[in-house]
Structure 1
Amino acid sequence: MARPTVFLIQIFAIFGFLHLGFGAPISLENPLLRQELDKVGELPGQNFVVNFTHYSGYVTVNEDSGRALFYWFFEAVEDSSDKPLVLWLNGGPGCSSIAFGEAIEIGPLLINADGKSLRWNPYSWNEVANVLFLDSPVGVGFSYSNTSSDLMNNGDKRTAEDSLVFLLKWLERFPQFKGRDFYITGESYGGHYIPQLSQAIVRNNLLSKEKSINLKGYMVGNALFDDHYDHVGVFEFLWSTGLISDQTFKQLNQVCANQSFVHPSESCDEVLEMVDKEIGNIDPYSIFTPPCSDLSSNRLRSRMHRIGRVGERYDPCTEKHAVAYFNLPEVQQALHVDPKYAPSKWDTCSDFVNLNWKDSAGSVLDIYRELIQAGLRIWVFSGDTDSILPITSTRYSIDALNLPVIGHWRAWYDNDQVGGWIQEYEGLNLVSVRGAGHEVPLHKPKQALQLIKAFLAGNALPALQLHSDT
């Protein structure tokens, strides 16, 4: 028997139940009904057909305050039932995973320069996995709360707690993914979100004595690890690439080295103003590519507080295109955004969330130590032209873990070209991506797809690909 159309489901949903053929009514808690309601059809500006199903909607993570997180989920292009589940998280704090991860980086539907139409991404990560994008915490993207004070009390701890509740409830809605191999990926301030959520999952599994979230590992790029080591690495990168003076380099180390990345002191802000003047009008997220002229008024000082704005090699204005597209009423309707809770103006990042961020861990290195002991597969990758969270910061933080080296530093290859370099440690792999900025999949989409393939398979990136004449 054919399932009812979405139109009929929406009509019956008003009454809180639905009859599928004969038998007892099925409530809105029925996962098949919930999935059907969340299914996305053809989107505005989409002039091509996709051969996979995707869904978007809300999951309430706190009934008392009415906190609800917005998601967008894409089944794998082929053999969805045999592919792992991958969650992608952007950072900020306060930036949308849908705005960046889906619409600009690894999603199958990318936004064109007109801000009204879409194009297919041949390097989408749903080529190799079922991919879930989450706007977290509340106040980010289309995620909302009925309690206004919630938006002033976001922080690392509650973000991890709410994201765990989201995953548990999302798996109730999509029970076919319960027990499926699960991985978390993302970038930037996701360097906090991802290990913190992974830790929450591991501990919850131990307490509940079941693995409905079958976490196998995580991979994070250009990540925030440790305030001290990250700052020292940033200053060294800025100085070694000739972007700042010797005097400013010394001041940064004296004044800012032990400051919070999210809430630095006024004296550190003053030094960052000098940095901003010295480096000039470049994109610090990708120092060798032209900036978007529309965004050139953003200053480095504010950018370092919000670790997540995007810069793109061939089109540095992609953020502007996302803002135009997701503010279209017909797009919001197609994505099941409730008009009651839609922001008056959707934006890629929320300055309000960022400025009111409560708790930001000074370091997540202890979490890495715990999760390495738990046996998770952990990869850290870094675009090597990013000055916001550069590879120097990542290497200082990883060095502080004092992990035994089990594989020598070597180049890895994309066909016959060096894609980057890799160092294997006991419990962790460090991978650099040559010529990529802060958002690796944006600048190097083909290499990023190669990276996720190797990570999910647990394979080494190729040392060299030899070609034979045929």
Structure 2
Amino acid sequence: MWVSELLGPGCSSVGAGAFSEHGPFQPNAAGVLVHNDYSWNTEANMLYLESPAGVGFSYSANTSFYTLVNDSITAKDSLVFLQRWLVKFPEYNNRDLFITGESYAGHYVPQLAQLIVESGSNLCLKGITIGNPLLEFDTDFNAEGHFYWSHGLISDQTYHLINTICNVSQIMRESWSGNYSKPCEMVANLINAEWASSNLDGYDVTSDVCLSDGETQLGSQKQHSSLASSFHPVSSLKSVQRAPRKKEAGGESIDLCVQDDTYTYLNRKDVHEAMHAKLVGLNSSWSFCSQVMNYDEYNLEIPTIGVVGSLVGSGIQVLVYSGDQDSVIPFIGTRHLMNRLTTEVGLNTPVPYKAWFDYDKQVGWMDTSLWGEQSVVICNH
């Protein structure tokens, strides 16, 4: 099962995960579904969960539900969904279950897995996979300053100020209250002037980006969701740099505007009818991030790295992976947290840090730690 939350809580697994990343099909500019050769469903049965209610095409019959949603509600509702889904499709009852996701799924995935373990559910949970996950607020977000500086995105002076008078986690906390201190306001303005105005994609700072003028941009959807916006207030996701729609990379043709195509596709009436989807209690159009739900932003500060450790101790396999060009949840913080977890939990490291190959092509680096027969694998790519 995949839980995306690429842009923070309240954003669509179907739009981002299924149609823009690793689902079986992706829409093109002509509105035609094109087969995705790299779909995860070639390896497993995939279930993409829109959670909590109010995300994507999901909705609550009681609109008061949207008033204040949090991590606990999301985990409980996700477990109820899984249990009821298996009642409807009993042929999957005894299948191994792996819960996967990225970014804010660093909360959703471990928390749901922990609830499954503690509830004594008969779900056959075998492992979790989390990519560029938010695991500890201060460590993860304060890694951004080092990432910006090491990639030449901010000046030495601004990096010094981040490290001495106001770091990124402080800026985020003050942005929630709407009351900036003078030091943090100054640092935030410097970051915005140097990096956030650069028209780079915060999730892949070396990638080309799609030219779009409309509301279809995934970045625009992010800005329309209050919490998704606060998930990363000091960097921009504006995709306005001129770039070809198609990019050739390593022999692959990449559609740089796949989010645009997905937005257009999922707002077609015939697609709604084919999917039996309803826009109930939602705005008149489908969006990447919920525009009706109020998520408790202070849940971002709940640490989940300890939950990951407890899952390993419960016999659950864990895979943590990070793209090394992601500035939102940089691999720098993740690597620090996993090294700390290895020490605290008493994991062995039988395989030293080494190059990671896909057949004969190097795609990153990896580290493997073991607790009994269970593993924590950390990959950077």
TM-score normalised by length of structure 1? 0.67
Please tell me the residue identity of whatever aligns with 1:319: Q
Deviations 1:81-129 (A, max 9, x none): xxxxxx0001121110000110011110111123x21101111111111
CA contact (8 A) 1:111 1:119 kept: yes
CA distance in 1, matches of 2:186, 2:278: 42
User: Is 1:431 the counterpart of 2:346 in the alignment?
Assistant: no
CA contact (8 A) 1:182 1:216 kept: yes
Counterpart of 1:385?
325
CA distance in 2, matches of 1:233, 1:412: 23
Corresponding residue SS for 2:191 = helix
Correspondence 1:311-350 to 2 at 5 A: 314-338=254-278, 340=280, 343-350=283-290
CA distance in 2, matches of 1:273, 1:134: 37
Q: 1:147 to 1:235 in 2, by over 3 A?
A: same
Please tell me the residue identity of whatever aligns with 1:109: F
Q: 1:197 aligns with which of 85, 109, 112?
A: 112
Q: 1:373 to 1:323 in 2, by over 3 A?
A: same
Corresponding residue SS for 1:200 = helix
CA contact (8 A) 2:55 2:289 kept: yes
Q: 1:332 to 1:310 in 2, by over 3 A?
A: farther
Corresponding residue SS for 2:52 = coil
CA distance in 1, matches of 2:154, 2:237: 21
Counterpart of 1:215?
125
Counterpart of 2:312?
372
User: Is 1:287 the counterpart of 2:215 in the alignment?
Assistant: no
TM-score normalised by length of structure 2? 0.82
**Kindly, what percent of the aligned residue pairs are identical?**
36
Deviation at 1:150, TM superposition (A): 1.2
Q: 1:269 to 1:144 in 2, by over 3 A?
A: farther
Deviation at 1:396, TM superposition (A): 1.6
Deviation at 1:318, TM superposition (A): 2.0
User: Is 1:422 the counterpart of 2:328 in the alignment?
Assistant: no
Between Structure 1 and Structure 2, how many residues are aligned?
A: 341
Deviation at 1:333, TM superposition (A): 0.7
Corresponding residue SS for 1:393 = helix
Counterpart of 2:17?
101
Deviation at 1:341, TM superposition (A): 5.1
Q: 1:301 to 1:105 in 2, by over 3 A?
A: closer
User: Is 1:187 the counterpart of 2:102 in the alignment?
Assistant: yes
CA distance in 1, matches of 2:36, 2:323: 20
- Unpaired runs of 5+ residues, structure 2, are 240-245, 248-253
Deviation at 1:145, TM superposition (A): 1.1
CA contact (8 A) 2:26 2:258 kept: no
Give the ranges of 4+ consecutive aligned residues of structure 1 lying more than 6 Å apart after TM superposition: 296-301, 306-313
CA distance in 2, matches of 1:108, 1:428: 28
CA contact (8 A) 1:189 1:307 kept: no
CA distance in 2, matches of 1:336, 1:170: 17
Deviations 1:150-204 (A, max 9, x none): 1121111111111011111111111111121100111111111000100011111
Please tell me the residue identity of whatever aligns with 2:201: D
Corresponding residue SS for 1:292 = coil
CA distance in 2, matches of 1:261, 1:201: 32
CA distance in 2, matches of 1:367, 1:381: 17
Which of 1 and 2 has greater Rg? 1
Counterpart of 2:4?
90
Counterpart of 2:29?
113
CA contact (8 A) 1:93 1:354 kept: no
CA contact (8 A) 1:155 1:360 kept: no
User: Is 1:360 the counterpart of 2:279 in the alignment?
Assistant: no
Q: CA RMSD in A?
A: 2.8
User: Is 1:149 the counterpart of 2:149 in the alignment?
Assistant: no
Deviations 1:420-439 (A, max 9, x none): 11001124110112xxxxxx
Counterpart of 2:89?
174
- Unpaired runs of 5+ residues, structure 1, are 1-86, 434-470
Corresponding residue SS for 2:293 = helix
Deviations 1:20-53 (A, max 9, x none): xxxxxxxxxxxxxxxxxxxxxxxxxxxxxxxxxx
CA distance in 2, matches of 1:112, 1:421: 33
CA contact (8 A) 1:409 1:422 kept: yes
**Whose relative contact order is higher, 1 or 2, with alpha carbons under 8 Å and at least 6 apart?**
2
